[in-house]
Chain A
Amino acid sequence: MGLFTGLKDSISRVTDRLFSDQEPKRIGIYGPPNAGKCLAEGEDVLLADGTYEPIESIYERVVREENDPVDVSDEPHERWLECNETTITVPSVRDDLTVEPKEVSHVFRQRYTGPMYRIKTRLGRELTVSPDHPFISMTADGVTELPAEELSEGTAVATLGEYTPTGTNYTLRPNDALYADGGAVVYESTYHNPKPVTPLELDPAVGRFLALTIAEAQHDTRSIAFANDDPELRAEFEETARRFGIETTTYEYDDKTPIVKANSRSLVEYLKRLDCEPASSAEKRVPQSILLADDETVTAFLRAMFDCEGSVQGAETDARGRYVTISSASRELIVGIQILLLRFGIVGKIREKRHDGKDYYEFCIGRSDQHRRFQETIGFDSEAKADRLEKLCEANSSPNVHTLPLMEVLEDARDALGMTQGAFYGDDKHVARMRRRNSISVDRLETMAESLPAVAETDLVHQIADSTLEWDEVVSIETVDYDGYIYDLTVADNHTFASSEGLVVHNTTLANRIARDWTGDAIGTESHIPHETRRARRKEGVEIERNGKSVTIDIVDTPGVTTKVDYEEFTDDMDKDDAIRRSREATEGVAEAMHWLREDVDGVIYVLDSAEDPITQVNTMLIGIIESRDLPVLIFANKIDLEGSSVKRIEDAFPQHKTVALSAKEGDNMDEVYENIAEYFG
């Protein structure tokens, strides 16, 4: 948005154009289409009610639920839909680092072929995003939105550390396989007379039953066989099955884990209504009914999960490696458990392990304060595990040592307040080293916040201390080739949302996304008229003044030029007629842009993404066409704020033209931009 505001200051609309003595020059803005800031298909977004949903499914929900979808996109290959009838609420991080539920205002989708970045963090969070997609990061300047391609190993990124769901009630899923028989439900069978089950409502005991089923049972379409060495857990399974109206059978063989089996198709079908489906161990997940349940039921569920699959490590040693862990072959199950634990402010690390040729995921709670919180809120029924946890909690060996690169900001604040090191940091000894390394631990910031005054200079310290966010750290960035749809959300006010694994990302806004965004402002498209915005836009009588020189120009912003448009790319989310209309608009826009280039413009500003290879067919061809018309052309090398950008690459590709480097987003180098416009087109 920087360029927008920059231009606003410098460009004023000429209202008395009638009196000007000369026709203004008409300058066309041309360039190839651009990629947005998006998440890969399949990435799950955390919703405010405690559930999560793949981003493409959120998008499709909006397409389905909007009666008359309003598309505010300005490029033919994108869809940018307003959420009017659809309500989607997500946990969103505010500027002051607090978390609150916020509504999604738009959903975005585009077709994309090119590199994407797979980001992994120290806590084992993973997310695949487009190179431009910004993470909420902590840099030497404080809280910063950093595009994926500017992250490096060690960059501090925000993840949710605590989060209270907004509390929506779970509605039992319909299941046609069941029919009601008095107060009971029965599986509808042609051949048998299945036993009815009592449709118990979700309560803590049923929550535990689901956990036992998910954690340790062979759960198929006909039966649930719970295998565990602990007689109390087997008794509990048997007891709850009886409450459902099902008598279990116990199998005990030598050298094998005893099994309690509930042989009931009706029960299997009823559990589906609670979103607990038969699943292989790699496909297990936390049911929606649990994600939406009250804290008491969630606690019961988690406790049973940890009773079965959890363990306590390192209780006997003082050394490192003190963990409360739980493991599963299903990453989704582990992520679901993390979402549930966020209610209690418990954060863990997701670790990938290989065992017997299979992938396992382990969830590790490593910090002493969180061991204590786990003990207070979840705990174990199993005495042995409870004892070991008690020992872990007595220790205080694993504080939150994650560090943030904030020493410069803090030293400035200390100077401004005229405080001594001892008074400011509460410690004199380590400050020199902290300064040298430019790193301060989150724990120390929290301690400092207790004694520092609440003034503007210490805002950040207090915000970090008060915030429930965890500062995670990027450990790897991998480039992946991508060919498919990419998606994004726009979240009202805060413009942030989180993945199901808790990584906080900044969303795309209409303003900062538009590739050639300053022209968008110069041309003024406040009224987003669908079907017209995808055509070229004009704004007449834009006056630019620089160094006493004044030039009045008409600006024509054209859609990204391409040689192909496939309507089928639009048909997934609109009917065929709309898709055809849409592709028609796109083709007309490009045809018009070509026509004007030959007939109707006096100069061209060619906008290129300096982070991308400028030598493409469309670019060479268009520059050739512009040259053959003998039109003055200025090349704008945009996005110089990005790490991979190279202005030289553009200069080398088109040495015969003046290249102006700029960052539309940051508003960098705008003086030179205006000077050159005034000079070239004056």
Chain B
Amino acid sequence: MPEATNADDDRRDGVQIDLISGERMDGMASMEKIRMILDGVHDGNIVILEEGLTPDEESKLIEVTMAEINPDEFNGIEIETYPKSSTRDSSLLGRIMGNDETPKKLTVIGPANQIETLHKDENLISALVSRS
């Protein structure tokens, strides 16, 4: 459990937001990142990643989320990133370099029943967060 997560008794009547730096993510393995995100979301937190996930990690995040969906407890996540710029370079080099070349994008993840995206375009995400 990351330090950012408060113990239950500390929680007041609000929504906790964890802003996770790219630096902190750099040293972690894919599954560690996914675990950290989902643990946070399970606790009702909104997790904001400075640098987002790689596509591979995104696909694993969906897969693990699906496996963890549990009646009455957890019904999934809402995830928002800026849509990819349409002029994105998909050069051969980029593809060979694979995941490392993926643009780093701010990503917001939260419990599906608490977060609702209001608007999103290439440089703005507007979301409504409610208490559970």
| Residues of A participating in the B interface, judged by any CB pair closer than 8 Å | 561-568, 576, 579-580, 583, 587-588, 590-591, 594-595, 597-598, 615, 617, 620-621, 623-625, 627-630, 652-656
- Additional pairs, 10, CB under 8 Å, beyond known A579-B71, A583-B69, A594-B60: A561-B62, A563-B77, A563-B78, A565-B76, A588-B66, A615-B83, A617-B79, A620-B83, A621-B81, A624-B102
Chain A nearest Cβ from B81, distance in angstroms: 7
A563 to B69, CA, bound (A): 10
Q: Please pick, from A583, A595, A629, A654, the residue contacting B71 in the complex, using a CB distance under 8 A.
A: A583
Query: Complex Cα distance A655/B117, Å?
Result: 25
Q: How far is the CB of A132 from chain B (nearest CB, A)?
A: 24
Determine the residue in chain B with the shortest Cβ distance to A651: B86
The reply to whether A627 and B55 contact each other, CB–CB distance below 8 Å, is yes
Query: What chain B residues lie within 8 Å of A617 (beta carbons)?
Result: 79-81, 117, 120
Q: Is the CB of A565 within 8 A of B75?
A: yes
- Give the Cβ gap from B73 to chain A, nearest Cβ, in Å: 11
Specify which chain B residues have a CB less than 8 angstroms from the CB of A563 in the assembled complex. Answer: 62, 65, 76-79, 112
Residues in B46-87 with C-beta less than 8 Å from chain A: 54-56, 58-60, 62-63, 65-67, 69, 71, 75-81, 83-84, 86-87
Most buried by B among A568, A594, A624, A652: A624
B74 to chain A, nearest CB (A): 9
In contact, A625 and B84 (Cβ under 8 angstroms): no
Question: Chain B: residues with CB nearer than 8 A to chain A?
Answer: 54-56, 58-60, 62-63, 65-67, 69, 71, 75-81, 83-84, 86-88, 90, 95, 98-99, 102, 112-113, 117, 120
- Which B residues are CB-close (under 8 A) to A620? 81, 83-84
A628 to B57, CA, bound (A): 11
Chain A positions within 8 Å of B55 at CB level: 621, 624-625, 627-629
Contact of B90 among A588, A615, A629, A656 (CB under 8 A): A656
Residue numbers in A under 8 Å from B88 (CB-CB): 656
C-alpha gap A500/B59 in the complex (Å): 47
Determine the chain A residues whose CB is within 8 A of the CB of B95 once the complex forms: 630
Docked pose: A567 CA to B54 CA in angstroms:
29
Chain A residues with CB under 8 A of B77:
563-564
Chain B residues whose CB sits within 8 angstroms of the CB of A597 once the complex forms: 59
List, in ascending order, chain A residues with CB within 8 A of B62's CB.
Answer: 561, 563, 590-591, 594, 621
**Residues on A with beta carbons closer than 8 Å to the beta carbon of B86:** 652-655
Question: Which of B66, B79, B99 is close to A590, meaning CB atoms less than 8 Å apart?
Answer: B66
Chain A neighbourhood of B56, CB < 8 A:
598, 625, 628
Evaluate contact between B59 and A594: CB separation under 8 angstroms: yes
B71 and A628 contacting across the interface, CB-CB below 8 Å: no
Q: List 17 A-B contacts (CB under 8 A).
A: A561-B62, A563-B62, A566-B76, A566-B113, A567-B71, A567-B75, A579-B71, A583-B69, A594-B59, A594-B62, A597-B59, A621-B58, A627-B90, A629-B55, A653-B86, A655-B86, A656-B90
